[in-house]
Structure 1
Amino acid sequence: MDRSGRTTPGRGELTFLGGVGTVTGSKFLLALPQGGRVLLDCGLFQGGRALRQRNWDSFPIPAESLSAIVLSHAHLDHCGYLPALVRQGFGGPVHATPDTARLAAIVLRDSAKLMADEAEHANTHGWSRHRPALPLYEEKDVEKALELMAPTEHGQAVDLDGAELRLHRAGHILGSSWSEVTLTDGTVLVHSGDLGRPVHPLLKPPEPCPHADTMLIESTYGNRRHNDADTLMAMAAAVNRTVRRGGSVLIPAFAVDRTEVIIYRLHQLRQAGAIAEVPVFVDSPMGLSARDVYLRAIAGGSAELRPEVTRDVLDPGWLRELRTVEESMSVNEPAKPCVIISASGMASGGRVVHHLRHLLPDPRMTVLVVGFAALGTRSRSLVDGASSLEIHGDHVPVRAEIVNLPGFSVHSDAEETLAWLRHLQQRPRMTYVVHGEPEAAATLRGRIERELGWRAATACPDESVPL
């Protein structure tokens, strides 16, 4: 494929622009044989400076030459680059489920605000290398992007320049999908997106995939296995231990789905009398807005939700909502032990960063890192035993207890991913392992080759492969 986006006549081509060698920045460019160009996911790179810098790189083809974008779900690493592409001239449809569109509106507006706030803070306090520091995109770019949303129901057939798109339930977060693209010659490309777990407490399992000629499979936990029972017990123990020493628990949590799962698990533990009944605060306007989308889905009888999920598990009477900045600041120095759930999960931005700045130096406190922490993020640094964190240009000492609970992830683990792949009725011609750090991706690729007997490869950044 050249800079204009042209491909060899009669052949489709796939280019890995992000989400390879890392768990962020998912972008897979599909050049269709008849000339159309479709982007599967449009994610923002997060983590270390080198990764974040990639968000500022020029897109490899003119943004206006893209025919369409397909979003697997509303997490920032899968939809967060969309306003930047719109700013560069993209104006085509963005295919996503209705709930993905609703959640993406919340996530993208918050992202633009955080970018503007961070640029202003950097310019005021002089901690950025750039003069002046600028946001990647602005609120007006987000609003233009949201106008392009083309809500697409699971199972609905959509034309993509002659190819056919169908989205299927992925069970990762509300609205999440795996994508099936059938080319004009009948070739089927499947992109797993972020594959959910069969034991997700709120959502039904991913729909099985019967056929794929080319498979893109995520590998976030390609070298790990979740232990749900131990995770819940470890959470209860950490909360009780912290309360006994007079401290509070801070839980950095993704606003979309992770916050909801944590509320549900705390609800279970409190009902069972397994944890102390201390105040629980949700300090994330975005998280509370996302919860409203889940509550709407519950009220509407969404086919994605487990039938036993009712309103009270996400809206219990003991939950305290912090919406204003002043309310948020009030729990930086809590008067008595409490639990604070705050975005973002990787502590890359938002209110949780201010809480970390105040709570980390205090050995009575605990930070629970729930789910996956990508390389280069503050959450990963804490998991890896950092003695200090750089926050807004200052080095903050880490004296609080750090507890890592990866079992709260709603990504499928290696066993669950392989079980999903085994639903295919025949082996794909080629399987590309994506969206995983190098060791995880390599481990999953090896197991696919050995246990399934499939041809598999670990995708490389900016690599183009024929379909």
Structure 2
Amino acid sequence: MTAVCIYAGGLAPPWNEDMSDGLSLRFLGATGTVTGSKFLISAGHSRLLVDSGLYQGDRELRRRNWAPVPGLTPDVDAVVLSHAHLDHCGYLPRLVRDGFSGPVYCSPWTAHVVPIVLRDAAHLQEEDAQYAARRGSSRHDPPLPLFDTGDAEKAIALLRPLPYGRNQPVSGMTVRLQRAGHILGSSTVEVQAAGGSVAFSGDLGRCTHPLLAPPDPAPAVDALVVESTYGDRRHPPRSLHALAEPIGRALARGGVVLIPAFAVDRTPVLLMALRELMTSGALPVVPVYVDSPMALAALEVYREAVREGSLEIRAEVRRAATDPFDPGELRLAHTVEESRRLNSPPAPCVIISASGMATGGRVVHHLEHLAPHPRNLILLPGFQVAGTRGRALLDGASTLKMFGRYVPVRAEVAGVDELSAHADADGLLAWLRSAVSPPDTCYVVHGEPGPSSVLAARIGTELGWSAVLPRYAERVLL
């Protein structure tokens, strides 16, 4: 018998601690939203946190980063990270600031990328606190960051690389990672304890990812927690036409193409796509700037993975004799002065800059200068969370608030899903089907309410599984 349980959100009812002798799971993030992933597993006196992510997007969600997390205390035994995106690892320094000092398990390449992400996040937190102090816009005196560079460095020191397929004992539980194919180092997480088992998809990648090998099959477990970012849609077949057409149009009219892009994975994939388009003649060869310290550091990690022949990299990329990330006139903006000059480029060019949803970083300065001019193009190559500038642009905003003032948006705005690193609904269902036996329950998380509900319904009708949309802070027995 199948069941699809759809909850309306809000805080779950109190948990009866007397029921917690067995294996239990508490959903402390990524419920009704695509950010803030945190899942607490308890078995007797052992507690394991899978992912420790920041909330991003609208103010109400971001406030949760500052609030106590229901049931989460810093004496958890360990943390396991599925991958290095901020909404999966960015809360870790705050957990450390509050007293956590246990091991943090992750794949070897995630251990390379997480330090880049956390150091950048700490720097931005410190900058935001300094800005609030100058503006007097905080209720606190002095304004404090959510965490600082010292917290980030302490968190980085706790990282423990765990190779794929190896069973790792963790305080009476066993953890195993497998490839998720989303970004370099991304993993699915399987946990066994107290005679039960649960697995987490993390963010699941696409089988057609141009750089990374496909995800490994889903494990056979009692409970399966699956993301649903694109749970209500199908990606179009991979074609670079949707990318080439607006870029070519903007360059032909003498414009600048500004691409807010996630530093990890999206920037390397964009460079590969631009290389293909420019070497084939589909686009003219123009300077392509990467303007993000974080993206430059992540790009070097990706180059290292290619050089070392990592099995996470597709075989055809490993065998290539040339740099897969150089479109022909690749230019790296290392300094602040180099970045400032890109606010008014002298000739048509492409600028790739973080952050991917235009919530902060150097790309906001470029938006301020480039968005008012109709000849330019703002290209958004991935999912945009509600409440971000990227989402506002996709929704047709005619002005954006930046640095305390409103800036007109007259540039062309285009969004493309062809480069998304997330599996679509069919990809998610295909991964679920790859499990040799079905779970007792499939929990659908990491999606906005609409996509999550659609995916849960398809899991029930097409796979015959019980599918549930858990509420924030809800706790269930496994």
Q: Does the Cα contact within 8 Å between 2:54 and 2:91 map onto a contact in 1?
A: yes
The TM-score with structure 2 as length reference comes to 0.94
The total of aligned residue pairs comes to 464
Q: Residue 334 of structure 2 is aligned with which of 320, 323, 347?
A: 323
After the TM superposition, which residues 235-254 of structure 1 pair with which residues of structure 2 at under 5 Å, given as runs? 235-254=243-262
Deviation at 1:271, TM superposition (A): 1.2
Please list every run of at least 4 consecutive aligned residues from structure 1 whose deviation after the TM superposition is greater than 6 angstroms: 1-7
- C-alpha distance in 1 between matches for 2:435 and 2:214: 16
Q: Does the Cα contact within 8 Å between 1:98 and 1:153 map onto a contact in 2?
A: yes
2:115 is matched with 105
After the TM superposition, which residues 121-136 of structure 1 pair with which residues of structure 2 at under 5 Å, given as runs? 121-126=131-136, 131-136=141-146
Q: Residue 323 of structure 2 is aligned with which of 287, 312, 322?
A: 312
Deviation at 1:6, TM superposition (A): 6.3
2:389 is matched with 378
Q: Residue 61 of structure 2 is aligned with which of 39, 51, 71?
A: 51
1:412 is matched with 423
Q: Residue 302 of structure 1 is aligned with which of 304, 310, 323?
A: 310
- C-alpha distance in 2 between matches for 1:198 and 1:445: 21
- C-alpha distance in 1 between matches for 2:381 and 2:328: 24
Tell me whether 1:160 sits opposite 2:170 in the alignment: yes
2:282 is matched with 274
Deviation at 1:134, TM superposition (A): 2.3
Q: Residue 38 of structure 1 is aligned with which of 48, 73, 80?
A: 48
Tell me whether 1:354 sits opposite 2:354 in the alignment: no
Deviation at 1:318, TM superposition (A): 1.6
Q: For residues 366-400 of structure 1, what are the alpha-carbon distances to aligned partners after superposition, in whole Å with 9 as ceiling and x for unaligned? A: 10000111111110010011111111221111111
In 2 relative to 1, CA 62–214 (structure 1 residues): closer, same or farther, beyond 3 Å?
A: closer
Describe the SS at the equivalent of 2:347. coil
Q: Residue 429 of structure 1 is aligned with which of 420, 424, 440?
A: 440
Describe the SS at the equivalent of 2:352. strand
The TM-score with structure 1 as length reference comes to 0.96
Describe the SS at the equivalent of 1:165. strand
Describe the SS at the equivalent of 1:313. coil
Q: Does the Cα contact within 8 Å between 1:172 and 1:195 map onto a contact in 2?
A: yes
Tell me whether 1:189 sits opposite 2:198 in the alignment: yes
Percent identity (aligned): 52
Deviation at 1:60, TM superposition (A): 2.6
In 2 relative to 1, CA 164–287 (structure 1 residues): closer, same or farther, beyond 3 Å?
A: same
- C-alpha distance in 1 between matches for 2:129 and 2:387: 20
1:207 is matched with 216
Describe the SS at the equivalent of 2:323. helix
Q: Does the Cα contact within 8 Å between 2:276 and 2:327 map onto a contact in 1?
A: no
2:106 is matched with 96
- C-alpha distance in 1 between matches for 2:254 and 2:13: 62
Deviation at 1:152, TM superposition (A): 0.4
1:285 is matched with 293
Describe the SS at the equivalent of 1:44. coil
Stretches of structure 2 lacking an aligned partner (at least 5 in a row):
1-11
Deviation at 1:3, TM superposition (A): 11
1:394 is matched with 405
Paired AA for residue 252 in structure 1: P
The range that moved more, 83-92 or 11-20, is 11-20
Deviation at 1:165, TM superposition (A): 0.6
Q: For residues 395-451 of structure 1, what are the alpha-carbon distances to aligned partners after superposition, in whole Å with 9 as ceiling and x for unaligned? A: 111111100112211000000110111111222100100000000000000000000
Deviation at 1:46, TM superposition (A): 0.5
The Cα RMSD (Å) is: 1.8
Deviation at 1:203, TM superposition (A): 0.4
Paired AA for residue 42 in structure 2: A
Q: Does the Cα contact within 8 Å between 1:224 and 1:413 map onto a contact in 2?
A: yes
Q: Does the Cα contact within 8 Å between 1:7 and 1:35 map onto a contact in 2?
A: no
- C-alpha distance in 2 between matches for 1:315 and 1:220: 30
- C-alpha distance in 1 between matches for 2:17 and 2:303: 45
Describe the SS at the equivalent of 1:263. helix
Paired AA for residue 461 in structure 2: R
Stretches of structure 1 lacking an aligned partner (at least 5 in a row):
none
The range that moved more, 103-112 or 424-433, is 424-433
- C-alpha distance in 2 between matches for 1:363 and 1:130: 41
Q: Residue 223 of structure 1 is aligned with which of 219, 228, 232?
A: 232
Describe the SS at the equivalent of 1:37. strand
Tell me whether 1:142 sits opposite 2:152 in the alignment: yes
Describe the SS at the equivalent of 2:176. strand
Deviation at 1:101, TM superposition (A): 1.1
